Chains A and B, each alone.
Chain A
Amino acid sequence: MNEPVLQIKDLKVDFSTYAGTVNAVRGVSYDVYKGETLAIVGESGSGKSVTNQAIMKLLPQPPAIYSGGEILFDGKNLLDQSEKQMEKIRGNDISMIFQDPMTSLNPTMKIGRQITEVMLKHQKISKSDAKKRALELMQMVGIPMPEQRLNQYPHEFSGGMRQRVVIAIALAADPKLLIADEPTTALDVTIQAQILDVMKEIQKNSQTSIIFITHDLGVVANVADRVAVMYAGEIVEIGTVDDIFYNPQHPYTWGLLGSMPDLNEEKGQKLRTIEGSPPDLTNPPKGDAFAPRNPHAMKIDYEQNPPMFKVNDHHFAKTWRLHPDAPETELPDIIKNRYMQYSGGVKE
């Protein structure tokens, strides 16, 4: 594979609160390569959004404390950059798309100005050229009649159209990395499908890398090249989309995959659930954070936090199950089915 655009190494983020220090991100490492989409999945509170807001340094300090690790982008550690330097990077090299398109647009500004603002700030470009480029961008993200739409306000747009505007703004400066934090969660399925198509199309043309944060595994299956699964502030499994969906190794990934009905599933079958609730991160557990909810937990899971075990060159999982001395675990049926699909697919 080609070289990484972004490297996160052992990132730790804490929040100081009245109830004590919350270790929200506890040693996260991953790379993002050029032109790929890395999906990050996990429950609310797993630290997926915090990790990615840390890349943009959007977390207010205090309460946030960057207590360790590095975020390498373009050879620079973003954690060492001053606020002034970060301003140059934000919106220029790295852009972000948020979940709610209404709150990320300025309601008192015309759409055209909101799109050109980024370009005028970051690039040496004349107003008329910026406008031309804005029209191109609007066409690219599929907004009909851009000439007229340019002079309208956000409230005159539907939810799906607003999200297209947000994407156009994010792309205005031709960023190397796009962070999309649940960009389609607030949208209808039909609109969601259109937005995902737009994002894929743009990526194909511009080779932008995308970090896609979501909790919808269907969306992950649709957009991702690689997937990182987060739980309690750590990455518990990372691999290609096929690794994660057809050869998952971590019991938490099994739980996530099992709790989603797929449309082909037999009726009457009960959904598998993950019992219990995530750990309190003011006082993170000593061993594997998932152990109390893991029906397959072993004694060592409660005592020592497992390292990342290698499954293959691009697939890693953080579970003692993969230790050479670990006993065989009985796999849940739904996971067995997925394994079977996988090996079946390989034979073809």
Chain B
Amino acid sequence: MTEAILEVKNLAKHFGSKNNPLKAVNDISFHVMPGETLGLVGESGCGKSTTGRTIIKLYEKTGGEVIFDGKHTDQLTRKEQKTFNQNLQMIFQDPYASLNPRMTVFEILSEGYDIHGLHKDKKERRQKINELLESVGLNREHANRYPHEFSGGQRQRIGIARALSFDPKLIIADEPISALDVSIQAQVVNMMKEIQEERGLAYLFIAHDLSMVKYISDRIAVMYMGQLLEIGDAADVYENPIHPYTKSLLSAVPQPDPRTEKNRRRVDYDAAQHDYAEGEEIILRDFGNNHQALCSQREYDSWKQ
């Protein structure tokens, strides 16, 4: 069995004071295999973006371990940190806010090469950037333009090109398509899939649009209030959701089909239904085929049926 490219163990991130912390990410564990896409879904405020940002060290974690490419991320030497920075990249939701408006696309893309010294000479750098632009569906003339000259979809392509410039092993994509029109979303998602097939990189795809997530992901993790409630193969999670919250979430996704919509039955989720007794062990339990859900032993027995 191959080793996971990213392993997250009991990760926690708390904000605010020590006495009364806001547990944005509360003891979550998962892994991402090389070349696979893990979709991370949940409502706003559930901690999915914080998880992504903590992994890439934009936030300092409160507890737990992040193991990337076989190394603990908090014990990296300077040199290792630099490799880490190359191999783990991030794409943000708002492509406009994540690009410097005073730099041309060429300057934006060459920054990474300059910092990490990935090129032999200027000619090679120019050539690499041209190739990069073509691989995300732009052309070399675009290199001399500024971000404001592009449409939303094109800007997101620039963001993706920048992430790809280091030839990373894992990209954390935080709602990369939420700000785009439906038809543009499809273009960007198709492109991300193509690039994945070519380069064999892995994605941690954070989103709240569940239909797109199902489409792009191999496995899916569902978060709620800072906790990981359910994780498993995309098809398993969608077709046989175990946790009542996942059921509720899926029942709310509108589908482009009026007949199913007419008969839609929404399931509400109430956290009080669990009624956990004190001392009960609430952990992720396996329901087969690595499909896990957060539950107590009592719930496990009844859900298992």
Binding site for B on A (CB under 8 A): 43-44, 159, 188-193, 196-197, 215-222, 224, 241-242, 245-246, 255-263, 265, 267, 270-274, 277, 341, 345
The contact string, 1 if C-beta is below 8 Å from chain A, for chain B 219-254, is 000000000000000110010000000001111111
Assess the A259–B255 pair: CB atoms within 8 A.
no
Q: Is the CB of A217 within 8 A of B182?
A: yes
Q: Which residues of the partner chain A approach B208 to less than 8 Å between Cβ atoms?
A: 188-189
A267 contacts B235, C-beta separation under 8 Å: yes
Q: How far is B248's CA from A10's CA once the two chains are assembled, in angstroms?
A: 44
With A189-B249, A217-B182, A221-B261 as contacts: A245 and B44 at CB distance below 8 Å: no
A208→B1 CA distance, assembly (Å): 61
Pairwise interchain contact B266-A241, C-beta atoms closer than 8 A: no
Interface of B, helix, strand, loop or mixed by DSSP = helix
CB-defined contacts of B255 to chain A, threshold 8 Å: 218, 221, 262-263
> Can you name 11 A-B residue pairings with CB atoms under 8 Å?
A43-B182, A44-B152, A192-B252, A258-B186, A260-B182, A262-B211, A263-B250, A267-B235, A270-B193, A273-B187, A273-B190
For A267, the chain B residues whose CB sits under 8 A away are: 215, 234-235
Contact B252 A189 (CB under 8 A): yes
Give min CB distance, B31 to chain A, whole Å: 21
Q: How far is the CA of A192 from the CA of B277 in the complex (A)?
A: 33
Residues of B within 8 A of A190 (CB): 43, 248-249, 252, 269
Pick the contact of A274: B183, B210, B257 (CB < 8 A). B183
- Residues of chain B whose beta carbon lies under 8 Å from any beta carbon of chain A: 43-44, 151-152, 181-187, 189-190, 193, 208, 210-212, 214-215, 234-235, 238, 248-261, 264, 266, 269
**Contact B181 A271, beta carbon cutoff 8 Å:** no
Provide the bound-state CA to CA distance between A34 and B266, in Å. Answer: 28
Q: Is the CB of B234 within 8 A of A218?
A: no
CA distance A341 to B183 in the complex (A): 23
List 17 other contacts, CB 8 Å, given A189-B249, A263-B255, A270-B190: A43-B184, A159-B44, A190-B269, A193-B252, A193-B266, A196-B254, A218-B211, A218-B254, A219-B254, A222-B261, A259-B182, A259-B185, A262-B257, A263-B253, A267-B215, A271-B190, A277-B151
A53 CB to closest chain B CB (Å) equals 19
**Cβ A272 vs Cβ B186 within 8 A:** yes
B288 to chain A, nearest CB (A): 20
Task: Determine the residue in chain A with the shortest Cβ distance to B251.
Answer: A193
Residue of B nearest to A342 (CB): B259
- Considering the complex, give the chain B residue whose CB is closest to the CB of A274: B183
Contact of B254 among A215, A221, A255, A265 (CB under 8 A): A221
Q: How far is the CB of A272 from chain B (nearest CB, A)?
A: 7
Residues of B within 8 A of A345 (CB): 259
DSSP majority for the A interface? helix
Residues of chain B contacted by A341 (CB below 8 angstroms):
259
A218 touches B249 (CB 8 A): no
In the bound complex, what is the Cα–Cα distance between A192 and B193 (angstroms)?
29
Closest approach, in angstroms, between the C-beta of A244 and any C-beta of chain B? 9
Q: Which residues of B contact A219 (CB under 8 A)?
A: 254
- The answer for the CA separation of A108 and B270 in the assembled complex, in Å, is 33
When distances are taken between beta carbons in the complex, the residues of chain B under 8 Å from A159 are 44
Given contacts A188-B44, A271-B190, A272-B186, contact A263 B214 (CB under 8 A): yes
In the assembled complex, the Cα of A272 lies from the Cα of B251 at a distance in Å of: 25
Q: Is B186 a contact of A271 with CB atoms below 8 Å?
A: yes
| Shortest CB distance A204–B (Å) | 14
Among residues of A, the one whose C-beta sits closest to the C-beta of B213 is A261
Q: In the complex, A222→B211 CA distance in Å?
A: 15
B contact residues around A218 at 8 Å (CB): 211, 253-256, 261
- Do the beta carbons of B215 and A261 come within 8 Å of each other? yes
- Chain A hits for B266, CB < 8 A: 193, 197
Q: In the assembled complex, how far is the CB of residue A303 from the closest CB belonging to chain B, in whole angstroms? A: 25
The CA-CA distance from A257 to B182 in the complex, in Å, is: 9
Q: Please give the distance in Å from A162's CB to the nearest CB on chain B.
A: 13
